[in-house]
Amino acid sequence: MGDYRPNHNTLKELCDELVQKKWITSIRVYDVMMQVDRKDFAPRHPYENNPQPIPCNVVISAPLLHAYALEALKDFLKPGNKALDVGFGSGYLPVAMSKMMNDEGCVVGIEHMEELYDFGIKNISKNHKKLLDQKKIKLNLGDGRLGCKEEAPFDCIHVGAVAEKPPDELLNQLKVGGRLVMPLYNKGNQFIYIVDKKNNNSFNAEEGLSVCYVPLTDARKQMPGNNVGGI
């Protein structure tokens, strides 16, 4: 490992690769990913287009997954809107979601692992502490499957863990016309699903990228040694 050389040495090199490979397809997402320096959130090899380990036996997702989520949610991340990020992990995505709204909305983040909760706050505070101080980003320690009723409804929700189906609490807290992006199981495999809420009883789900995430479960089952995945 002593002769390891990263593919990219700068954030621009990484973002340009994401454009070249069509993970980033809009100027808006490119600009946001250039504003949010991954080195604040990934302890090792921040500009590699692959996941990197963070505490609690999980990883910060590969940049392509962050780009994929931001592209899927870009029409729902507008100034004045409210977003929920379940399993915020490193803290990267709440900052990026806020930047998508020109820091004129509110991103609520939930993390059920206390070590990750502290890790995310520490990372965000490096260069974006103002977003925490001004309540543009509100981070909570708790069970993400329950959402955050006191802040609902949300224009969009991102979930960084896989389940058999979206939790009812999250669907109930999504605005009519809103969008949920999360990984779901399908025949034993995992795929990102884009779920649009047509009305309180009607949803449209579209299957997307094949992925590998940790299960959406309680903190005890996600203790080190049990699971490895991306958030």
Active-site amino acid positions: 61
Structural tokens at position 84: 């929920």
Q: Is 195 helix (H, G, I), strand (E, B) or coil?
A: strand
Structural tokens at position 182: 């999360």
Structural tokens at position 30: 């490119």
Rounded distance between C-alpha atoms, residue 101 and residue 47, angstroms: 24
What DSSP element (H or E) covers 109?
strand 106-111
Q: What are phi and psi of 59, to 5 degrees?
A: -135, 160
Residue keyed to tokens 């979930």:
159
Q: Report the candidate in 75, 90, 89, 70 with the shortest Cα–Cα distance to residue 23.
A: 70
